[in-house]
Amino acid sequence: MQHKEEILNQLHAMCAKDEQATRCHHNYFTQEVNEDCRRKMVEWSFTVVDSFNLSRESVWRAMDILDRFLSSGKGSSVKARENKQSFQLASTVCLYMAVKVHEDVEMTIGFLVKLCRSYYTASEFISMEHDILFALRWSICQTTPLDFARQCLLLQLDCFDPETIDCILENTQKQMDLATSDVYFASYKQSSVGIACLGAALVESDVNSAEQEEFWSQLSSMLNFDFASKEVREVERHMLSGSTICKPKRQSQLVLSKTTSQKSCNEQTSPVSILSCV
């Protein structure tokens, strides 16, 4: 079990990195490639990771890479914003990169070709991966909202019983899964999205108001962090609007063990044809 001081140091480091991280700061969509295209690629990506028993967190990581690349204006990002096939290629490569870096599986370019039923060639995948890496200056390992939520709960393990902790983590993951489909969150800090997801998860886990208030009060005191900041309130307000994720049964007290399977990817095609995505 990690010591609280170690967890605090990790949270402070994560927050500092989050402050400096490059985000998607403008709407990059065009008439050809719109939000519906992105949503369909998110759905396809979830189908892929579920089929191979991978973490759904990899889809958030993939979309984070994609959003930052497409809003960078560098390399082939302009073409990917104006051509559905190029957008689809970039989206697939971003999922490949997220899985390759963060999952305990071996994924090859050959597997990627088979996954997409040879719609794209190996050279196209390699070229796009290089393009994305150089456009983002190799910055593809961002902290996720769930990372923040996990560390916050680790810091406050004495607040809840183990069963409740598991329930809160599961509900936080569900909130983040649903938020992945909405590009609105791409312009906000990962910590802000994580805090809002955790707040909604506390409500969905039937944690009473007094326990929620105590949880946030202690956490705020230890971290010296404003959990009711303007940005957090904006993120939570969008979540509560019901346009993105499941609306909690009641408002949270914010004021307004990750499990990874060590399973190898089989050399097989995509469970859903990528041709039908966009």
Domain ranges of the chain: 31-141+263-276, 145-240
Q: pLDDT tens digit string along 158-191?
A: 889 999 999 999 999 999 999 999 999 999 999 9
CB under 8 Å to 8, separation ≥6 — which residues? 155, 222, 223
Per-residue pLDDT of the chain (278 residues; tens, 9 = 90+): 568 889 999 998 998 888 888 888 778 999 999 999 999 999 999 999 999 999 999 999 999 999 999 999 898 999 999 999 999 999 999 999 999 999 988 888 998 899 888 899 999 999 999 999 999 999 888 889 999 999 999 988 888 999 999 999 999 999 999 999 999 999 999 999 999 999 999 999 999 999 999 999 988 888 888 888 899 999 999 988 865 443 333 333 333 233 333 445 654 555 555 555 66
Alpha helices in 21-161 (DSSP H): 35-51, 57-70, 77-82, 84-102, 109-115, 122-135, 145-155
Residues 179/222, Cβ–Cβ less than 8 Å:
no
Q: The dihedral of CA 188, 189, 192, 197: what is its sign?
A: positive
Looking at the domain that runs over 31-141+263-276, which CATH code has it been given?
Answer: 1.10.472.10
